[in-house]
Amino acid sequence: MALSIVLALLVAVTNAASNVLMRKAARVVPTAAQFHLSLLLRLVRSPTWMAGLALSLATFPLGAAALGFGKLSVVQPILVLELPLSLIGASWLYDSRLSRRDWLGISMMTVGLIGLLVVLVPEGGQVTGIPTSTWLLGSGLNVGLVVVVYVLGRRTTQPSGRAAYLGAGCGLAFGLSAVYMKSMTEVFDVAGMTGVLTSWQLYGSIAVATLAFWLLQNAYAAGQLAASQPAVTLLDPAVAILWGLLVFHEKTEGGPFLILAVAASAAIVAGALTLARSPQLSRMHEYPADGAR
């Protein structure tokens, strides 16, 4: 369990660094490039974006290792630290200081996460042997929600609303990718690398993660990181926890422990919403004087 937590923390740090670098590169992308292949063609010419891409790709094996050693509903919530770590990285990048309000939000998210990990200790769970009908139903609902928020984002003309919808779709997709990845680690335990390479979970995880990545780049290009990042940060673990409890049958303590878990989750959400109004996110959204929009 301890190793999975360390690996999940490393994923959060790597994702945060990737966020800052990719957002910096996306600041100069014209709005007209959104939802088009030209968006990626522009971004791949940026060394900064490519460095962010390399870090983003590194999170795949790290995340798989974390999920292989730990429970889905423990590993994924740790990734909420990506948001405060992104802010800290942005403060270094833009040579500015975090405000007391920023540190309050960071503290709320950190304390809430620690509380959640202490009281939400899942036991049991079965990743293998899940009926195909369950996979199809759960995946269909999950992907359906991604499609809905994507369509809403396409139809929204206001930048903040578009970024929020795209961020929500990204979080929903990343959560599903983690679910497939967790199932893939169980395949590895049973059939080794040969089994993984021939499993649908591997290619499903890659496909959904690619979709999430594309949505994330469009959210960056849409601007208003303050609108998109909280949705990405919170929906990813929320999806994973629901799958872990409802499909994988991971069991947690009830009664007072459940109340404490809800309180800890509320602290994480409140902290994320506090950080969403941070000036650091506004600075990450500002475009340079020569950036074409």
pLDDT at 176: 95
Pull the structure tokens for residue 230.
């909280």
pLDDT at 123: 66
In angstroms, the CA 72 to CA 19 distance is 23
Residue 287 pLDDT more than 50? no
- Choose from 16-25, 71-80, 96-105, 200-209 the range with maximum mean pLDDT: 200-209
pLDDT at 188: 85
Pull the structure tokens for residue 257.
């422990």
Residues 6+ apart with CB under 8 A from 211: 146, 173
Q: pLDDT (tens digit, 9 = 90+) per residue, 250-276?
A: 777 666 777 888 888 888 888 887 877
Q: pLDDT (tens digit, 9 = 90+) per residue, 26-38?
A: 665 555 445 555 6
Q: What's the average model confidence in pLDDT over 98-108?
A: 85
Please give the model's pTM, rounded to 2 decimal places: 0.77
Residue 44 pLDDT more than 80? no
